[in-house]
Structure 1
Amino acid sequence: MLITATHTKVLIVGAGPSGLMMAAQLLRYGIIPIIIDIKQGPTDESKALAVQARSLEIYRQMGAIDRVIENGKQARGVIFNEDGKQVASLAMENVGEGQTRFPYILLYPQSKNERLLLDYLTLNCCPVYWATTLKSLKQTNRQVEVELHNGEDITFINCDWVVGSDGAHSTVRKQLNIPFAGDTYSHNFYLADVELGGNHFDNDKVNLFLAKNGFSAFFPMPEARRFRVLGNLPDEMVKKEDLTIEDILPGLEKNTGKPIEIKKTYWFTSYHLHHRMADSFRVQRCFLVGDAAHIHSPVGGQGMNTGLQDAYNLAWKLAGVVNGRFDEKILDSYAAERMPVAKRLLSTTDKVFNIIISRNWINRVFKRWIIPPLLKLAWGNEKLRATFFKQVSQIAISYRDSSINLHVAQSTQIKAGDRLPYLKVFDEKKQLETDLHEWCTKPGFTLIVLGKLAEGDLFAIAKWITVKYPGMLNFFYLPQSTKNHHIFDAFEVNIKVGKSIIVRPDMYIGFMNDKIDMVLMENYLKNVVGFIVDGS
C-alpha cells in the first residue's frame, strides 16, 4: 500500500509497541497519523515478554484490557537457583494487592501487544504503511519535510510533527544528529522460545539459574509448556557460526542440573545487549520514544513498558497542540518528565544486570551466600514487597517536579505529579462499586471534587466546564459517606472545605487544592497547562 497524502499532522516512524501506542492514543483525540515501518509486517517473534501493571492500566483506559488478560498469563513466582539447587522462592501472586487493579506481572509477548494495537488502529481506520523507509528528514520551525521510499516509489510529505519510534538504530535519531551515549555489555547472549517436555519447570513461575560462568533463565509463556529461555553464551560458542539451540543445550543442562527436552523451537537468536540513552528526546518538531530514545538490559521487564509510557505521555500533549487546545510550550514537558525516568531505569537495570552476569569471585560469593537470604528476608516484609512491586510495575513513577503540575494543598502523602492512586469508590446513587481510574477512561482531563457542595455550586462548576472546556474536562463529584471514607483519608481532605483534584489524561494528578476554587483551577488550566480558551 502506497502513501498518497502529501501532508500529515503527525508522522510516526516505526510500528513497534511504542509507535503503535502513539498512534492509538492520537486516535482517541480524533487525530489520524501516518505510521510507517521498514518491516514487511508485524513481528511474529515474541520479543519483550512482561507487561507491567502501569501498562495494563493504560490498556484498561483504552477499553482493550479484557483481551490482554484473556491471552496472557500471570507470573506467580520467581525461583532462584545456584549451581542447579534452589536457594530462594518468592511468591508473586497478587503481590501488589490494593495498589492497582492488576497486582501482578502479566506475561504477554510483544507480538501480542502489537497485534492488539494493530487491531485497535484498524478499527479506527488507521493503516500501517509497511515496507516503507524514511530516507531523509529536514525541518524548520514550522514543518518537517520527509522523503519516504517504498520499493522504487518515492514520496515526499510535509509533516507538522514527527515521532521517531524506530528502535535502537533509529533513522530519525540519526537524521537529527542526536548522540546515543552508552555502551555494549561484553558478553554475548542467546534467546529462545521453546516448547519443553518433562515437568522440570513450573508453568507459571520464573526460574533463574545463577552459575559460576554466567546465568540462564526460564520464563513461562501464555501457551502451555512454552518457555522463553535466555542466558549468556559459553565462551567457546561466541564465534561459532550458524549457532543453534542444540549448541547451547550442554551448557544449559549444566547450569540447571536438569535434562532439557526441547520438543519445538519457535525462535532462536544470539545477540549483544546494549545500554544507551539519547542526549535529547526532542529537536524542534521531532520526538523520540521507546528504543529510539533508550535501550537497556532486560532486567525487570521494563523496556517495552517504558516505551509504551513514553508514547502515552507524549500523545495527549501533542494531540492538544495539533487540535489547537494547548499552547506548544506543553511539549517541553515530555522530555522533562520522561528523560529522568529513562536515566534512572538505565542506572538500576545496569547495576543489577552486571551483578547477575559478573564472573569475578566477589560477585560470585555475593550471589551465592548473600543474595538468597537477603531476598527471603526482604520478601517477608510487607512494606518491602509493596515497594518492590511499585518500582517494577512502574506505578511509582512520579512527575512532582514537572512544570505542568500545580500543588496548592497541604497533603503530604499524595501530591500533584503522582499517579492517581487506585481507590475503590461506592456509587451511592447507582449502588455500584467502581474506582477512581474508571472515572478517567474518557479522553481529556478529569476534575474530581471531594466534599459537600451546594447544588448551586455544582451547577456553576458544570456550566464553567461546558462553556470553557467542552469535551476536555470531565467532572465527578464525591460527597463524604461511610463507604468512601478511605478516599477522604487518602487525600487528607478537610471535610469543612473539601478538595479539588484535576487528573491529567495520562492519569497523573496535575492539580490539587485544599478547597474548591474555580479561579485557581482556571489559573492551572490556562497558565500552567496552557489551555487555549476561546474568547479569553
Structure 2
Amino acid sequence: MLALPSETKVLIVGAGPSGLMMAAQLLRYGIQPLIIDGKQGPTNHSKALAVQARSLEIYRQMGIVEGALTDGKPAEGAEVNLQGKHTADLLLGKAGEGGTKYPYILMYPQNKNERLLLDFLTLKCCTVYWNTTLTEIKQLKNGAQAQLQNNGNNYQVNCEWIIGADGAHSVVRKQLGIAFVGDTYQHKFYLADIKLDKGFDDNLVHLFMAKRGFAGFFLMPENSSYRIVGNLPPDISEEEVQLSDVMPHLRSIVGSDLAITNVNWFTVYKLHHRMAEKFNDQRCFLIGDAAHIHSPVGGQGMNTGLQDAYNLAWKLAGVINGQLMPVVLNSYGAERIPVAKDLLNSTDKVFNIVISQSWLSNTLKQFVLPIALKFLWGKKQFRKRFFKRVSQIGINYRESNINLHLSAGTVIKAGDRMPYLPVYDEKKQQYTDIHTWCSKPGFTLITLGDVKEGYLFTLAKWITQNYPTDFNFFHMPRSEKNAIVFDTFEVRAGERRAIIVRPDMHIGYINDIIDIELMNNYLHQIAKFV
C-alpha cells in the first residue's frame, strides 16, 4: 500500500458510489482528496441497479456517460402483474420525452458505476486507499484529526474537512453522535442475480404481486439476465437458505414455471428506512447511505447519494479555493434534507402497499389497483409527473436561501434544475443543448433577448475582472431556431432574461432585466461569493 499522507484538504471515508462521486467532483475543481475504504477493493456484487436520468446528466457533464450507456441496458418501463395476470404496462419513453436526453432508466449495476468513477479518479491520479478504516474523529477549530488503521498500523491524518460516505453503519456518523432515526421493515427479503433459459421478450421490468407476496424481475445488461427481489416466505428460515428453497413460492407468485440456468448471487436481508437527524456537524458531512437509507422502490438510493455528493462538492470546493464563504455550506443540509425526507415518505408508502398481505390490501390490489393504474397512466400529465419524480429531474431547491427569483415567470423558477432544451448556437452556427452550455465547472450566466453588442462586451469584461475562474457566459438572441428556450422561460417579444446557473445545473438566479449591479449583489449576498 502507498504511504498515507499526514495531511489532506478533504478526507472521504467510503469508496462506494457517493464517496467516489464526491472525489470526482472535487477533482473537477482542482482539489485532490484522500479517499479510504475498509474493503479490500471495489465490490464485485451488482447491488444497486438503476441509474436515473439525472445521474446520467451528471455523468454527461463529467464526460463519462458513454461508458455507462455502452455497458448498460435501458429499461423502457414496467409490466405489472397481479395474481399471475397481466394488469398494466407503464412505459416511460413518451413520459420522459423532451424532458431529458435520457428518457428511461438505465440498468447499470453499482459495481459498474464504481468502476466508471474509479477510472475517472485514476485519470486524475487520485488513489483509493483500500483496507483502511476510520477509528476516531477529533474536531478542531479549523479542521479535524482522523485516526486511521491499515493492516494493524495506526495513522493520524490532519484534515480540513471530512466526508462520511461510509454507508448505513457509518463510523463518521457514529463518531459525531448523530442519531439515525427510523425503523426496520418487518419482512425479510431475498435477492438473486440469475440468468433465465428464456428471458422476457422485452426491455421492461416485470413486477408480480400476489396474496402471498411479491417478486420483481429487474433487467440486467447481460442477455436474459435479471435481478429478482422478493419477500422471503415466513415458513422458510433465513439461515442457509438457497434460491431453490424459495422457488416454489416464487413460481406461485409469478404463475408460471421458471427455467433458471445460472445463479450469480443470492442473499437474504432486511430493509431499513432511516435518516440522520442532521447532515453535517462542524467540519464533517454525511452523504449517501450514511445520511439516509430506504426501500428500493423506484431505484432511488444510489442516485440520491450521487446527488448528495454533487450538491455538496461544488460548495466545498468553492470554500477551499477561497471563492465562496463557508456559510454557503449550510445550504447542503437545507437543500438535501427535504429531498431525503420526501423520498423516505414516498418510498415507504409505496413499499408498504406492495409488501402488505392483509385482506384489505390484497382486495385493493386485486380490484382497485388495475383500474387505477390504467386510468392514471392514460393521463399524459400523470405520466410526465411520474417520470420527473422517478428520474429525479423534478427535484428543486426553490426554498433554498442561496437562490433568488426576480422574474415574473411562474413555470421555471430559481432553484429548479436547468431544463434540458435544444439550442442553436449562433456563434458556432450549430445545434447543441443548454446543458452543454452548463457543462464546464463553475457558474454559468445565460442572457436571453436582444442586447446591444457593447453591453455584451461590458458583461464579459465584468466577469473577467471580477470572476476570472469558473464563471462561464453565453448570450442567446431571439430567433425562430431558439423559440423553445424563450417560450420555456416565458420571455415575450421585447423582453430579456438573466439566468445564473449553479455548478450543479440548478438555477440560482433569474431576473427579467440584465443588470450587473443586481447580479453582483446576488453573487456576493446570496450565493456567498467572497
- TM-score, with length taken from structure 2: 0.99
CA contact (8 A) 1:244 1:268 kept: yes
CA RMSD, aligned part only? 1.0
Q: How many residues align?
A: 530
CA contact (8 A) 1:75 1:93 kept: no
Deviations 1:236-263 (A, max 9, x none): 11x3421111111111111111111211
Deviates more, 1:207-216 or 1:9-18: 207-216
Aligned equivalent of 1:467: 465
SS in 2 for 1:442: coil
SS in 1 for 2:472: strand
CA contact (8 A) 1:452 1:495 kept: no
SS in 2 for 1:95: helix
**Are residue 251 (structure 1) and residue 249 (structure 2) matched?**
yes
Alignment of 1:478-489 (within 5 A): 478-489=476-487
Deviations 1:74-133 (A, max 9, x none): 112311111211122222334300101111111111111000000000000000000000
Aligned equivalent of 1:52: 52
Q: 1:381: how far off?
A: 1.1
Deviations 1:20-76 (A, max 9, x none): 000000000000100000100000100011111110100000001111111111112
Q: 1:288: how far off?
A: 0.2
CA contact (8 A) 1:37 1:129 kept: yes
CA contact (8 A) 1:494 1:514 kept: no
Q: 1:14: how far off?
A: 0.2
Aligned equivalent of 2:299: 301
Aligned equivalent of 2:137: 137
Aligned equivalent of 2:228: 229
CA distance in structure 2 between the aligned counterparts of 1:307 and 1:335, rounded to whole angstroms: 13
CA distance in structure 1 between the aligned counterparts of 2:51 and 2:166, rounded to whole angstroms: 20
CA contact (8 A) 1:61 1:438 kept: yes
CA contact (8 A) 1:3 1:129 kept: no
- TM-score, with length taken from structure 1: 0.98
Aligned equivalent of 2:103: 103
**Are residue 422 (structure 1) and residue 426 (structure 2) matched?**
no
CA contact (8 A) 2:10 2:34 kept: yes
Alignment of 1:111-510 (within 5 A): 111-199=111-199, 201-237=200-236, 239-510=237-508
CA contact (8 A) 1:81 1:88 kept: yes
Q: 1:141: how far off?
A: 2.5
CA distance in structure 2 between the aligned counterparts of 1:495 and 1:369, rounded to whole angstroms: 52
Deviations 1:384-421 (A, max 9, x none): 11110001011111101101001111111111000101
SS in 2 for 1:461: helix
Aligned equivalent of 2:32: 32
Deviations 1:138-171 (A, max 9, x none): 1022111010000121110010000000000000
Q: 1:452: how far off?
A: 1.2
Q: 1:428: how far off?
A: 2.9
State the identity %.
Answer: 59
Q: 1:4: how far off?
A: 3.1
CA contact (8 A) 2:77 2:104 kept: no
SS in 1 for 2:169: coil
Deviates more, 1:330-339 or 1:95-104: 95-104
Give the letter aligned to residue 235 of structure 1.
P
CA distance in structure 1 between the aligned counterparts of 2:52 and 2:298, rounded to whole angstroms: 10
CA distance in structure 1 between the aligned counterparts of 2:160 and 2:255, rounded to whole angstroms: 58
SS in 1 for 2:10: strand
Deviations 1:289-345 (A, max 9, x none): 000000000000000000000000000000000111110000000000000000000
SS in 2 for 1:300: helix
Q: 1:494: how far off?
A: 4.2
Deviates more, 1:491-500 or 1:112-121: 491-500
Give the letter aligned to residue 71 of structure 1.
D
Deviations 1:496-536 (A, max 9, x none): 3411000000000000100100000000111111111xxxx
SS in 1 for 2:95: coil
CA contact (8 A) 1:497 1:516 kept: no
CA distance in structure 1 between the aligned counterparts of 2:145 and 2:374, rounded to whole angstroms: 57
Runs of 4+, deviation exceeding 4 Å: none
Ranges in structure 1 where 5+ consecutive residues have no aligned partner: none
Give the letter aligned to residue 211 of structure 1.
A
CA distance in structure 2 between the aligned counterparts of 1:73 and 1:387, rounded to whole angstroms: 23
